[in-house]
Amino acid sequence: MSDRLSIIVVEQDRERALMIVDSLMEAGDYDIQVIAEVSSLSRRISEKNPDIVLVDITSPSRDMIEELTLATAPMERPVAMFVDQSDDSLAKSAIEAGVSAYVVDDLRPERMRPVMTAAIARFNMFRRMRDELAETKRALEERKVIDRAKGLLMKARGMSEDEAYGLLRKTAMDQGRKISEVAQALVTAADLLS
């Protein structure tokens, strides 16, 4: 995120939108834009590509939650949603859609900055967790390919597992490639030959 936070405020009521913008301006130096029409929300948010989205709505509909899902997929930015009444199923849907903060019981100006800070922190925490999960999955897939390549070498050349791994490692170093790349090439070649 840049030094100057860009914020989209989704608010249909003009007076409330002005109140939100004024309280944000008092809280910091932000680039603020307001979206008053919720139809095509995902397209409008994507076009503006903000750092954070603040949604103030009396009672969000499932359609709006779906629009937010599209707007934040694949979890591109933090979203804070302010609603007037609690609804467990909508809260669950909002969180599953990628809403970082779901605040019930009116939007008060003094709560804006802490809620934004919490939404950004929660978003960043979940993004780190998603990145770590993706890296772990990638490493597991690489490990599977390396194990398969070792098995192919052990069978074809009558080598031990350590010798097969040593040959993969030496080949990778000689070619300036990663062991997983050499292993994938061997597995692909074996699949073509079988």
- How far apart (Å, rounded) are the C-alpha atoms in residues 80 and 92? 14
Shared domain for 11 and 57, answered yes or no, is yes
Residue 122 lies in a domain: no
Residue 34 lies in a domain: yes
Residue 123 lies in a domain: no
Shared domain for 95 and 157, answered yes or no, is no
Query: In terms of pTM, does the model score above 0.75?
Result: no
If you average pLDDT over residues 35-60, what whole number do you get? 81
Shared domain for 72 and 151, answered yes or no, is no
CATH code: domain of residue 69: 3.40.50.2300
Q: Which residue has the tokens 């890296």?
A: 135
Residue 62 lies in a domain: yes
In this prediction, residue 74 carries a pLDDT of 45
Shared domain for 39 and 74, answered yes or no, is yes
Q: How far is residue 93 from each of residues 8, 58, 66, 67, 120, measured CA to CA in Å?
A: 21, 16, 9, 12, 19
Residue 128 lies in a domain: no
CATH code: domain of residue 140: 1.10.10.10
Please count the structural domains in the chain: 2
- How far apart (Å, rounded) are the C-alpha atoms in residues 154 and 171? 15
Shared domain for 149 and 92, answered yes or no, is no
- For 132, counting Cβ atoms within 10 Å of its Cβ (0-12 exposed, 13-18 middle, 19+ buried), the class is exposed
If you average pLDDT over residues 44-70, what whole number do you get? 77
Q: Which domain holds residue 169?
A: 133-193
- How far apart (Å, rounded) are the C-alpha atoms in residues 179 and 170? 9
Shared domain for 103 and 24, answered yes or no, is yes
Do the Cβ atoms of 150 and 165 come closer than 8 Å?
Answer: yes
Residue 120 lies in a domain: no
pLDDT for 100-153, tens place per residue? 888 887 667 777 888 888 888 988 998 899 899 999 999 999 999 999 999 999
